[in-house]
Amino acid sequence: MRVRHSPLRRTPVVAALTVLATVLTTAVTAGPAAAAPKPAGVETVAALPPHLTVGRGAAVAFAEQEAENAAATNGEVIGPDRTAYTLPSEASGRKAVRLDRGGEYVEFRLTRRANALTVRYAIPDAPAGGGITAPLDVRLNGTVRHRITMTSEFSWLYSTYPFSNDPTATPPDDWWIPETRPVTTPFRPHHFYAEQRLLLGRQLQRGDTVRFELPADSTVAWAVLDVADFEQVARPKARPHGALPVTWFGADPTGLRSSADAFDRAITAAKRLRASVYIPAGTFRVDRHVIVDRVTVTGAGNWHSIVTGEGVGFYGRYAEDGGSTRVRLADFAIVGSIAERIDDAQVNGIGGAMGGGSVIERLYIQRTKVGMWFDGPFSGLTVRDNVIVDQIADALNLRRGISHVRVTGNFIRNTGDDALAMWSHFVKKPDGTPQASEAADQDHHNRFDHNTIIAPVLANGIAVYGGRDNVVEDNVVADTVREGGGLHAGYRHSSTRFDGTLTFARNTTVRAGVLDMNWNFGVGALWFYALEGPMDGRIDVRDNSFLDSTYSAIMAVKGYPVANSVIGVHVDGACIDGAGTYALQLQVEGAGTFTGVQARNLGVGGVWRGDPFTVTDGGGNSGWQDDVRSNWPMDQPKTNPAPTDCR
């Protein structure tokens, strides 16, 4: 028999239970009450608001935050300062935060998810040179989770080129030293900063906090924090099908034993079997060059597969020996231990000649002399999406007769010379006659594009020395410190002449240009230097932005004792927003056409002429057409307001 259930009577108790059930059901269905989103930190690109560099520079995997913009600090903000040989001058954005005692900190609030970070810092040198170490605590959401060791072992250079690690080093008694005698020591200290990466071992979300704090028992006199990068790092990449792991050939992933011979054996076997080489996660010690030719070497990712050692490097065969072709290097790190500049030492991260369709991508290169130094002649190479930091000299240099190379999407910070250079070195015999024709030594049909360069402490962001038909476009260059500007073309350093067309297009420079202490006048954000011969090839300068230039935006200067000319300059579309002195600084006989050049916030005025340089107005110009009286010494720069760009 079926029993009919009667409806439940709604007594007061039942009614109360019904309301409670409704609330609980709603809570389960809707989840917890929506909390206000956590506030995020201030994300920048080269210490600029990101919208000012859209479409230019490298597309990086990390979010950059400047210490001076951090969510909280009880340290001292230092800067801004663009005076060479000071800590703020070498900092990204020309500001940083100084911590003087235990318990002082800088705390960042994340703008996106991250499980890894990079911190850029400086600590003092040892009194006799050689560096010191100091601990730094890393608090994640208030809890100390890591302690990293800062070091100045690979920082701090002194005196004049090629520099010294000795704080007591003094310069030669040379007229080319403008300091009053006797000079004091340490003389011209520079190259202060270093970087350290850290895998956090946990997932952080937008709005979470990361605090860098000097521990209570810290004895370091000070630590300066400049910038932190926060990144979501993928798990290690699996071994590609058919690839030969270097561990199969005796490589030690703990780094205790040398793995150099094991790498050689793996490469030899891979070439014989037409396979590739795989570097698994681990740290592998390689204290010399590994020669690569017609082989692919890949890792598990540059956070996971690390090749380190004294003099570590992956080299193609030299051009004189036929060079290397069809090389691919990808997804690992090269971390050297170079702390001094010896120009004839082959201690670069990548070297030799690598053409014929070779590709170098997604590497992390730190603490080598030069990240990548290529000696030609050769043709056909792609260098893309690499991170190159803390170099004693250049990040990348194409030397002599190199063509059809594309360098794109690379992030570069803290180089000790030109960050990116094309050097058409005109090589001559001891008797002064050329080893080859000038055309054979010219770099040609190369392209540097979409790279980000921050804080080269010597020379230029991007430099082109001679050559023909080369292109520099869509790059971001920031914070040059001494003896150079953001973008440069120079007939100098024993280069060939300029032929064809050199193109600078759609680049952004910010806080670029310096006071040259020997000349006692400023160097422009973009500058041309006719030292060893006339620059009479065509130079196209299209749609570039020169933001907050320390001195002039565009400069041309003659050589000495021969006053060579600079002609064939065509500037078409430029934004000059903030220049400490002039829009154009013309110290050379020459000629140029200027069209659609907009200028504002000029510290002194429009055009300074020291020589009969003909400026042709192509129309559409504004804000800079006035001539400044040719006084000497030149005017001192003014402070620029924050740039906004004209685009």
Q: Note whether 368 and 336 are within 8 A (CB).
A: yes
Q: What is the pLDDT of residue 39?
A: 85
3-state secondary structure of 143: strand
**Structure tokens of 91?**
């900092």
191-239 pLDDT tens trace: 999 999 999 999 999 999 999 999 999 999 999 999 999 999 999 999 9
Residues 132 and 90: their CA atoms lie apart, in Å, by: 20
**Average per-residue pLDDT in the chain?**
94
Beta carbons of 226 and 86 less than 8 angstroms apart: no
The rounded Cα 345 to chain-centroid distance in angstroms is: 23
Q: Say if residues 356 and 386 touch (Cβ distance below 8 Å).
A: no
> For the residues of 304-318, what is the DSSP string, one character each?
TEEEE-TT-EEEPPP
What digits encode the pLDDT tens for the residues 403-457? 999 999 999 999 999 999 999 999 999 998 999 999 999 999 999 999 999 999 9
Confidence of residue 34 (pLDDT cuts 50, 70, 90): low
User: What sign has the CA pseudo-torsion 141, 143, 147, 150?
Assistant: positive
Q: What is the pLDDT of residue 12?
A: 39
Interatomic CA distance for residues 73 and 122, integer angstroms:
17
Cα–Cα nearest to 349, from 377, 292, 391, 411? 391
Which band of pLDDT confidence, cut at 50, 70 and 90, is reported for residue 645?
confident
Any residues with CB less than 8 A from the CB of 616 and at least 6 apart, and which? 591, 592, 593, 594
Three-state secondary structure call for residue 26: helix
Question: Beta-carbon neighbour count of residue 35 at 10 Å?
Answer: 6
- Where residue 644 falls among pLDDT bands split at 50, 70, 90? confident
For residues 593, 599, 601, 604, the Cα torsion angle rounded to the nearest 10 degrees is 20
Q: What is the pLDDT of residue 175?
A: 83
pLDDT tens for residues 4-22? 333 333 333 334 334 334 4
- Closest C-alpha to 405, from 359, 447, 361: 447
Token representation of residue 461: 């962001």
How would you class 256 by CB atoms within 10 Å of its CB: exposed for 0-12, middle for 13-18, buried for 19 or more? exposed
pLDDT for position 647: 75
Is pLDDT of 1 > 70?
A: no
Is residue 33 predicted with pLDDT exceeding 60? Answer: no
Per-residue pLDDT tens for 335-357? Answer: 999 999 999 999 999 999 999 99
Residue range 368-405, pLDDT digits in tens:
999 999 999 999 999 999 999 999 999 999 999 999 99
Query: Whose CA is closest to 298, among 360, 355, 252, 248?
Result: 360
Question: What is the secondary structure of 525-541 as a DSSP string?
Answer: SEEEEESSS-B-SEEEE
Residue 578 has pLDDT above 70, yes or no: yes
CB 528 within 8 A of CB 566: yes
- The answer to whether the beta carbons of residues 346 and 383 sit under 8 Å apart is no
Q: Are 352 and 377 in contact (CB under 8 A)?
A: no
Q: Are 84 and 482 in contact (CB under 8 A)?
A: yes
CB burial of residue 161 (10 Å; 0-12, 13-18, 19+): exposed
C-alpha 476/C-alpha 124 separation (Å) is 30
Asked whether residue 30 carries a pLDDT value surpassing 50, the answer given is no
The 8-class DSSP code of residue 125 comes to P
